[in-house]
Structure formats: structure tokens, C-alpha cells
Structure 1
Amino acid sequence: MDNLKDVYIDQLQDLYSANRQALRVVDELAKAATSTALHAALERGVAGIKDGEQNLEKLIRAKDANPNAEHCKGMEGLVREAKAHALNAEFGMDAARDAVIITQYQRMAHYAIAGYGCAAAFAKQLGFDDDAATLRGMLDAAYSGDKTLSEIAEQTVNKRAA
């Protein structure tokens, strides 16, 4: 990578890979959730991840790059953790599983927040104003999903799990 544009494209490709990996496990987390509010929030998360994947593909292709040129090892690890701790573990109560589902989803969301924030800053610096606006929208959506899951945890799930 020779310059910020190269770094920017690399980060978009990494985010694209992260979204593709997260999509499958978030769908599984939604199906495993027993809280109605959590299930609905995760279903919205799945839709948001799909939108993000499509937006990232457009941004990458507009720069004459291949969306599939990177494999995100960070999200690979987060997906593996989500499967191990939320999907494959044994739980004595459903609310405890829901609490872990929230934990694992938020870890993935925070990874996305960091990536979108950096990519938006790079786009702004490079004068890619439309890209920056798209990425800020994706960043806002990730923040919103994270906030919603925190509210569900604090208002219902954690109380039931306690």
C-alpha cells in the first residue's frame, strides 16, 4: 500500500469481508434468541448488515477494486467466539443465553464501528465526500444497533438472567 487511497480500499475490503462473515452468525444468533425484543433487534441487524455489504461492494467497485480481495481475520475470530459462547454452549436458562448473545453481537458491532469510523475519516481526507456520507450512515446504524441491544440487556434480559 503506497498511499491513503490504498489503505482506504484495503479497509473497505476488510469491512466487506467482516460483514459477509457476521451476516451468517447474526442470523443464527437471531434464531437462538428467546427474548422477542432481542430477536427483532437482531433481525434488524441482519438487514442492516446486508445493506452494509451492498454499500461496501458499491464503494469498492467504484474504485475499480475487488470486494473479495481481503479476508477479515478479526471478524473470523469474533464469529468463532460467538458460535462457541452463544450458540454451542449449554445454558440452564434462556435469559443467560440471550445475555451472551447480546455480548457477542456487541463485540462484532464494536469492531464494525471502529472500521466504519476509520474508513469514513479516510474517505473525508481523500475528498470522497459521497463515500464518507455513506460510511457515516453505516456508522450511525451500527451505533444505533449497539445502543438498542444495550437497552434490551439493561431493561429486560440481564434482569431475567440474574
Structure 2
Amino acid sequence: MAIKNLKDLYLDQLKDLYSACKQSMPMVTELGRAAKSRDLSEALIAGNQGIARGMEVLSELCNRHGADPTGEHCRGMEGLIIEAKKHAIETEYADEDAQDAAIITQYQRMMHYAIAGYGCVRSFANRLELDSDAAALQECLDQTWEGDRHMTKIAEGGVNMAAVDGR
């Protein structure tokens, strides 16, 4: 399908973001299982719940505009998942705190991709005067930012310090 206008781009990006979220969920589950910190593991479980809520919103918005949310494959998230698996799961760590720091790093990279996506589609919805779409996307964006801030608190609140010298 040729993208003819901002509305077409908006729908294309909603579908791409839906794909990104769908792809990220199994990796977030895997990161949660690998995490040694209970706080980190619980935050990743909560993160997956947030991703699922975001997918529901994206699906609803696509359906509202007559688009199938499953019509795309996000190569950007695919690459981030490959990196997460390599750096947080497959790398051998002698120190579990260092691995937890790597898990946080990879999770935040995936979430920053989602933050960029939600911000763009929210801006498109605003320009297209799709006020209810924009409000729903703003809520997803806010929740994703909050999850990112919570991960930073976990990292700075203990994981990174513990990983300094393998305590």
C-alpha cells in the first residue's frame, strides 16, 4: 500500500508499533526469568502487563479506522530483541548483578523505541484532530515513560552499585 497522506502514515505506524509490542513481550518475559533481583523481575512482569495494555489500545485504534493491526513486522524491534538476547541472556556473567544491569539496559532500549513510536503516533493523531486517539496514545506514552523511570530507580537504587565490584 502506498502511503498517500498523514492518515495512511498514522495507520502504518500504529501497526508497526503493535508489531514492536507483540515482539517485545516474549523477550521481556525471558528477561524477567533471567533477572536475579526480585524488584527487577516484578518490574518486568509489570512491564509486560503494560505492553499488553498498549497492544489493546493500538488494536482498538487500528480497528476503529478499518486497519488490521497485525499487518506489519517491525524490524527495528526485531533488532533490539536480537541485541537483548545477545547481551542480557546469552552472555556469560560471573556476577548476577552485572547481568541484572544488562537486563535493565536492554529493556530500556526496547522501551525507548516504544516511547519514540507512541510519541510520533500521538503527534500524528493530534495533527489529524483525532482527539480520543491522541488521548489514548498519550496515556500509553505516559505509562511507558513511568515504566522506564521505574527501571532507572531499580538500576540506580542498588543493581548498578552491587554490580560495581560483584558484591
TM-score (norm 1): 0.99
- The size of the alignment, in residue pairs, is 162
Q: Secondary structure at the match of 2:36?
A: coil
2:21 matched residue in structure 1:
19
Letter in 2 for 1:116: Y
Report the residue type matching 1:66 in the other structure. D
Which residue matches 1:111?
A: 113
SS of the residue aligned with 2:70? coil
The alignment partner of 2:48 has SS state of: helix
For residues 92-113 of structure 1, give each alpha carbon's deviation from its aligned partner in whole angstroms, at most 9, with x where no partner exists.
0110110000000000010000
Runs of 4+ in 1 over 6 A off after TM superposition: none
Give the structure-2-normalised TM-score.
0.96
Letter paired with 2:99: R
Superposition deviation, residue 89 in structure 1: 1.0
The residue that corresponds to 2:157 in the other structure is 155
For the residue of structure 2 that corresponds to 1:70, the secondary structure is coil
**Matched ranges for 1:113-152 at <5 A:** 113-152=115-154
Partner of 1:9: 11
Code of the residue aligned with 2:114 in structure 1: it is A
CA RMSD, 1 decimal: 0.6
Q: Report the identity percentage.
A: 51
Cα deviations by residue, 1:68-101 (Å, 9 ceiling, x for unpaired): 1111000000001001110111000110110000
- 1:69 maps onto 2:71 in alignment: yes
